[in-house]
Structure 1
């Protein structure tokens, strides 16, 4: 049974039983505490936790998911995958435990001819929470399961919660027995690969608090409205129904594995280590394909870093299979062909995805060369010291800075006959994980904070009137101070205000929040920020300037009209620049992010090389001609399918409902889905002045522009500078570039002559310094303060010249100077001095300590510095004292 057929049967089964079929949400989660959608229930969390009223009593979905916490297990077990699909059915206060169990058993055990999945009842086991007698009773009644195939387990296995105060409850898991050839008898409690978990039913029935750990909390009460959240693992069911050994061999994954086998010339099934590598490649390529189809681009942070790690692990695995040449072109094409039937978007957007992947592969292959140089240096240094172990900090640097997986460093070290200090590497990795965990914990606490909005959201959605109005009369529904609901707020206080209607635009879609005020009888509130903390609810952060505002008061939201107009100019300019980019560069230059506020806009787009000055000028020219042409700006509310059919572009990762707002500028010339505010005609934008274009990753660029009066002010400032230059240089404007180039060339020539004169002058000081040599301890020493010098390089040159002139007799040179108002000291020793035990590093370090700084270096040459130039004499005396000793 193909994966797409399992999906069809699932959605058909639950759709026929009154469940609303909900399309998969993006892999990019809109939950602020999550990078990705990690489970099928994530898009439904606001409904399950009653933060947002559920729009339907029951739902079903096949949700795309990404998890990377078990990435090291990928390829080694039959069921660990980075990208996976979770089939879910959900009830929001509708049916509960008995019906959920009945649905699961019916779908699993009904024959394929009757639309079921055709599992044999004798092969299925279930686990329940140890105290859930009710679930045991329903399993016996519904499925007729004997006691020995119903196993009771504890909180760590069969109890669900978010890890925060709120809803929780027991769960029941369904397992498939693969047979004695796969492991020991004894059921799921053995935790053996023989028993594959295929379905988890969560019975959300309690309210908990005082949460000390996953298994340590207090049950407060039963929930007034009980929910069902279930998840069936698509890949696990697929590999069981397709009669293959693991999820990497199912129809959606195996083609990539086979391509890796073909490219490497290694046969799958011939070698365990090679098999694991091919499975890693198959999983990671598919996962990367799906992430990029949802708008994630490789980068050094957040989601982009995870994607980059997956891509680089794939390259490493191909390298370990003996392939050093680029392979992504073939591997991604194989994954596209395997996935596009179920996810057509990967085919439609493949040009962009392929460009991202190939660009990242090319970059990392270059990075491998750079990292290899660093590793080679470390190998050489390690061998020179007589050690057989590369330091852990080198391995960590390669991992953290260059993206080298530790396995690659180990392999390359082994080729050089060395090992790696894994303990030190492990400590550094643990420290990094601890920092990440602390960051994740702080983000997790943000979810707990969202619960304060639940009661307000239950009163309905905030109505946004700002498209038509700049002022709206409304009612204060709630006030929040320091995260807690209050009844009133007085002068000087910062508070969040929830109202029924608002004309103030909340930050979203790349557009900054409106500025304005909220006023009422006896109070005036300055609006500091406007946000959507939960879907459908707008919160205004305000400072009470006069009076006191209370829940229930009548109020008027007032938008600052000048700020709104400037923000609308910038947002419309963003669309215009995007259209101009696509006209010049082609449709692959797709927007990947934006930000705009009054007078300014920036737009990130997929591209892997800098734009030439001529290209930038052309884009700016097209944009301003669109402004000049006074194109009509129109908005329409359509279904998402209608908008896409008309060619509307959607921003990757953005969440869209069934009804969307489509913004046209000049008809189809610029047609995008957008909830932002816009001008009425393009001429109202005023002026677009492109001020910058830069890289934001190997496959993304950023273009920045000033808009309207801000653009004019910037050009006026440039005009003033040009006017001043023409006056000062007595040169016409059109000749300025040549005149400035001439002056720069003359300046460089003068600097070279001055440097030559200074070098000659310094050289004349060498004989006198040599003559000053005197015996200290076992060496001849030159110790002098040279006063002020232009650079440390000059000081170093003098030190080495004097050392050479002192001959073969044991000698030390310690010279100090003030360089850029900072003291510096450099110490040099010759071979004879070092043979007596005199080393430059300790001498420089001791002198630098006197100067209030630090220093050190090699045995033959070292330097130090500090902050106290008045201590130079004492610092040099410390060198002399060490030599006497």
Structure 2
């Protein structure tokens, strides 16, 4: 059975049992604590936690997953993969243990001819939590298996929790016995012998005081008991396809076959090469799926994981003997297999390929430069008798040559060396601290939402009216300060206010929160609040951060909320302008120029999009022109609600990395199909209301990503007015017409450049004119002609030129040593030049520079004939020149 058929049978089996088929969510987790979705239950977590009401009682899904802790184990074992698919069936307070066991056992053991998977019952072993007698009895009842065929395992294997207080429960796994060749009889810890492929979680307990995975308290039973199961698609595939491991299944082995063709190596011939083949198969597929869901290579977070996967794949192919670009040969093979299920891979292929291939090209350049540096460093360590590459060397490889630490670790291990990881990590931490690049600073990223959930549970969701009105009469349902409820806020204090209804737009989808005021009246009098920020810390609840401008706010006050109309107008213009610029980019660059992020506030927008090279001035002009034409056409702006699948069929563009409601989504279109995007922001009603779109900049924001910035509305016109004023001032100053301004500036620039070159020529000639005089005035020191000279206002280049010129003027048969000190801008530049005759007398240019260094607060070095250095203390220049004479005397007499 091929993988797509296994997947199809799983979904069909549970649909026939009354489950709603739910499409896979993006592999990018909508959770600040997760980079990627690591398990099939993650998209359903709000239902299990009681944060949201599920729209169905039973569900079935095949979820795309990525587990990053397994990267280092990929290829070394036959079980670990980075990207995988988890099939799951879920019950939200509906059926429980017995039905879950029945449904799983039926599909697993039903003959293939009848739509099942046809596993032999005599090879299957259920496992249960050691204290779950109920599960033991149910397994016996459903399957008829004897007691000795049911394995009792402890908490570490068969009890599930999230590692924090909340729901938990015993697990029951289905294991298959692969035979004595894989381990001892009855040894259920030997995972290769008794391989677990399906896990049934009986979510029944309320956990408290969770101290570790195996140490927690059970506070009681959950009000609703749930089922969460996970079945590894790749594991079932390799067992039904008669191969040894997941890397050899139908959707992965073709990549290995192509790698064998490219490298001339044979899979199965060498254990070391086999690991590399498996790394290639896994990482090529995983990288492709991540890029397909909108990840681009970077140095942090998801981007770093992708970059690491791509680079490990490329390096593994190189170690197998193929030195040319590999991803263009391998990734299309993976695409053709996975696209049987994930058709988006074909539609997005141009974008996926552009991102992946550009990263390989960049890494090949990194490998070429960095490998030479690594080999040199490793050779020095071995030559000195050491066994550890220092943290400083590892950090330099990372910081200067782009070598990720995992690559350094791998290469060091191949040469029998360790790496001072602690030292490296310390240097990295110092760098992050200096750069203040701590992701925890992102607003709301890991905020404790407990207080907001309590408000939501007690008062229900906020009636959100931002689309309908700019003003509402409201009442406070919660008043908070420092995440704690309070009865009042005094004048000048800042707190958080939750209203029963609000017209304020909460920051989301790249649009900044509304600004405005909230007037209040109470028994103590009236007053005004300034709205500083508006957020949605939990779904359904809108929270206003406010400052009391006047009066004292009482929790029982009557409130009148009012959005600043000018702010909202500017915000609408900017957000609609973002859609227009996105559509214009796609028209100019092609359909693969897809938005990867955005931010807009009144009058300003920025849009990040997938692209690997800078836009030319002509392309930027075209984007601006297409945008302006869309405004002039007065295109209608409309929005509608539909399911996510309907929106995709309609051609609506979803922002990569965003998680959308599984029920209804909002689609905004400008000019019909010209621009259709999933969006919850506020918009103008016709494109002409945007006013103008003025592109102000374009830049890189990481590998494979560019950023375009623009101004809209009044701000855009203001920018153009300032540009006009600058042009007017320049034309007046240069006494020319606006259309001749560029030519006039170019002419002046060229004349200035010519004048600077002439001045430089004259300056150097004047400097060198001193050479003959200095050579003639050389001091004899024990038979060596010594010139020790200071030049004020000279930099390093001038000093070197003069020193070499003076040395050349000393007769070749006379020993000569020249040291020139240049003093400029409070710094000292030193160059020493020694001829062959002086070197034969033991005089060294390097030694002369070292003698000068302490006197001028610096150091230097070089070769015996020419050396250079510098310092920061010009006051020691005279002492330094005296030290030159002393050093020549010492060397000449030695």
TM above 0.5: yes
- What's 1:678 paired with? 683
| Cα distance in structure 1, aligned partners of 2:665 and 2:255 | 36
- When structure 1 is superposed on structure 2, of 482-491 and 494-503 the one drifting more is 482-491
> Is contact 1:476–1:552 with CA below 8 Å preserved after alignment?
yes
Q: Determine if contact 2:296/2:703 at 8 Å carries over to the other structure.
A: no
How far apart are the structure 2 equivalents of 1:301 and 1:273? 30
Q: 1:630 to 1:440 in 2, by over 3 A?
A: closer
Comparing 795-804 and 285-294, the one that deviates more = 795-804
Q: Distance in 1 between matches of 2:591 and 2:350?
A: 9
Equivalent in the alignment of 2:825: 820
Larger mean Cα displacement after TM superposition, 778-787 or 30-39: 778-787
**Cα distance, 1:606–1:407 mapped onto 2, change above 3 Å:** closer
Contact 1:524 1:547 in 2 (8 A): yes
Q: How far off its partner does 1:691 sit?
A: 1.4
Counterpart of 1:669 in structure 2 is: 674
Name the CA distance, whole Å, in 2 between partners of 1:468 and 1:877.
85
Structure 2 counterpart SS, 1:534? coil
What's the CA shift string for 1:538-586, capped at 9, x where partnerless?
Answer: 2222223334445565433321111111111111111112222222222
SS at match of 2:634: coil
1:234-272 deviations in Å (ceiling 9; x for gaps): 111111122211111222222222222233333333333
Give 3-state SS (helix, strand or coil) of 1:537's partner.
coil
The counterpart of 2:716, out of the listed 711, 714, 728, is: 711
- 1:96-135 matched pairs, under 5 angstroms: 96-135=96-135
Kept in 2: contact 1:649–1:671 (CA 8 A): yes
Tell me how far apart the structure 1 counterparts of residues 34 and 385 of structure 2 sit (CA, whole Å): 47
2:734 alignment partner in structure 1: 729
Deviations 1:428-474 (A, max 9, x none): 26875999999699999955713333223334333321112111233
Aligned to 2:563: 559
Secondary structure of residue in 1 paired with 2:726? helix
Separation of aligned partners in 2, 1:152 and 1:804: 90
Counterparts in 2 of 1:777 and 1:349: CA distance versus 1, 3 Å: same
Per-residue deviation, 1:280: 1.7
Does structure 2 retain, via aligned residues, the 8 Å contact 1:124–1:177?
yes
Q: Which residue of 1 aligns with 2:258?
A: 259
**1:333 is the counterpart of 2:329:** no
Task: Name the counterpart of 1:422.
Answer: 418
* Corresponding residue of 2:628: 624
Task: Quickly say closer, same or farther: Cα 1:757–1:357, change in 2 above 3 A.
Answer: same
Higher deviation after alignment, 8-17 or 64-73: 8-17
- Please say if residues 473 and 556 of structure 1, whose CA atoms lie closer than 8 Å, have aligned partners that are also in contact: yes
Distance in 1 (CA, whole Å) between partners of 2:584 and 2:807 is 64
Equivalent residues in 2 for 1:290-305, closer than 5 Å: 290-305=289-304
What is the CA-CA distance between 1:587 and the residue it aligns to?
A: 1.8
Checking the alignment, whether the CA contact within 8 Å between 1:389 and 1:419 is kept in structure 2 is no
Q: 5+ residue gaps in structure 1?
A: none
**Alignment deviations for residues 729-752 of structure 1 (CA, whole Å, 9 cap, x no partner):** 112222222221121111112211
CA displacement at 1:79 relative to structure 2: 1.5
What do residues 585-627 of structure 1 show as CA deviations (whole Å, max 9, x unaligned)? 2222222222211111122223333332222222211211211
Whole-Å separation in 2 of the counterparts to 1:184 and 1:441: 48
For the residue of structure 2 that corresponds to 1:754, the secondary structure is helix
Q: Which moved more, 1:108-117 or 1:611-620?
A: 108-117
- Alpha carbons 1:829, 1:838 under 8 Å: kept: yes
Give the C-alpha shift of residue 82 in structure 1.
1.0
Whole-Å Cα distance in 2 between the matches of residues 226 and 836 of structure 1?
A: 93
Greater shift, 472-481 or 152-161, is seen at 152-161
Q: Distance in 1 between matches of 2:249 and 2:258?
A: 14
**Superposed displacement of residue 787, structure 1:** 3.0
* Equivalent in 630, 645, 648 of residue 644 of structure 1: 648
Q: Is the 8 A contact 1:328 1:357 kept in 2?
A: yes
Aligned equivalents of 1:596 and 1:557: distance in 2? 23
Alpha-carbon RMSD: 3.9
C-alpha distance in 2 between matches for 1:58 and 1:393? 55
Cα-to-partner distance string for 1:40-67 (whole Å, 9 max, x where unaligned): 1221222323333444444332110112
Of 539, 545, 553, which aligns to 1:535? 539
Quick check: 2:66–2:83 contact (8 Å CA) kept in 1? yes
- Report the equivalent of 2:285: 286
Task: Kindly provide the CA deviation profile for residues 805-828 of structure 1, in whole angstroms up to 9, marking residues without a partner as x.
Answer: 677888776544432344445566
- Find the aligned partners of 1:88 and 1:107 in 2 and give their Cα distance: 13
Work out whether residues 51 and 451 of structure 1, in 8 Å CA contact, stay in contact via their aligned partners in 2.
Answer: no
Secondary structure at 2:537 match in 1? strand
1:178 Cα offset (Å): 1.0
CA contact (8 A) 1:316 1:408 kept: no
Q: Secondary structure, in 3 states, of the residue corresponding to 2:31?
A: coil
Is 1:492 the counterpart of 2:492? The answer is yes
Alpha-carbon deviation of 1:766?
4.0
Show CA shifts across 1:391-443 (max 9, x none).
775565545665557897799999xxx95753346852687599999969999
Query: Is the CA contact 1:127–1:188 (under 8 Å) kept in the aligned structure 2?
Result: no
Matches within 5 A, 1:300-379: 300-371=299-370, 374=373
Deviates more, 1:423-432 or 1:477-486: 423-432
Q: For 1:485 and 1:153, how far apart are their aligned partners in 2?
A: 45
After TM superposition, the structure 1 = structure 2 runs for residues 684-833 of structure 1, keeping only pairs within 5 Å, are 684-766=689-771, 783-789=788-794, 791-802=795-806, 815-825=820-830
**Which moves more between the two structures, 732-741 or 829-838?**
829-838
Measure, in 2, the Cα distance between the counterparts of 1:101 and 1:873: 92
- Correspondence for 2:639: 635
Which residues in structure 2 correspond to 1:259-278 (within 5 Å)? Answer: 259-278=258-277
Change in Cα spacing, 1:545 to 1:245, as seen in structure 2 (3 Å) is same
CA distance in 1, matches of 2:884, 2:163: 61
Distance 1:130 1:432, change over 3 A: farther
CA–CA separation in structure 2 for the residues paired with 1:4 and 1:705: 46
In the alignment, which of 577, 583, 587 is matched to residue 579 of structure 1? 583
Tell whether the 8 Å contact from 1:207 to 1:223 is kept in structure 2 after alignment. Answer: yes
Q: Which runs of 5+ in 2 are unaligned?
A: none
TM-score (norm 2): 0.87
Cα–Cα, structure 1 residues 91 and 480, in superposed 2: closer, same or farther, change >3 Å?
farther
Q: Deviations over 1:459-502 (max 9, x none)?
A: 43333211121112333222343334444433333323222322
How far is 1:674 from its partner?
Answer: 1.4
Cα deviation code 1:339-396 (max 9, x no counterpart): 1222121122223223333333334334444445656776999999999998775565
- What is the CA distance between 1:83 and its match in structure 2? 0.7
- Residue of structure 1 in register with 2:236 after alignment: 237
Where 2:579 maps in the other structure, the secondary structure is helix
For residues 178 and 211 of structure 1, the distance between their equivalents in structure 2, rounded to whole angstroms, comes to 36
Aligned to 2:508: 508
User: What residue is the counterpart of 2:549 in the other structure?
Assistant: 545
How far, CA to CA, are the matches of 2:700 and 2:440 in structure 1?
31
Separation of aligned partners in 1, 2:555 and 2:87:
43
> Which region of structure 1 is more displaced relative to structure 2, 85-94 or 340-349?
85-94
Deviates more, 1:312-321 or 1:403-412: 403-412
For residues 674 and 654 of structure 1, the distance between their equivalents in structure 2, rounded to whole angstroms, comes to 10
- The alignment of Structure 1 onto Structure 2 pairs a total of residues equal to 878
CA distance in 1, matches of 2:600, 2:58: 39
Q: Which moved more, 1:333-342 or 1:353-362?
A: 353-362
Aligned-partner Cα distance in 2 for 1:784–1:434: 43
Change (3 A) 1:449 1:411: closer
Is this contact kept in 1: 2:517–2:530, CA < 8 A? yes
Residue pair 2:831, 2:849 contacting (<8 A) in 1 also: yes
Residue 21 (structure 2) aligns with? 21
Kept in 1, the 8 Å contact 2:9–2:116? The answer is yes
* Structure 1 residues 442 and 666: CA distance shift in structure 2, 3 A: closer
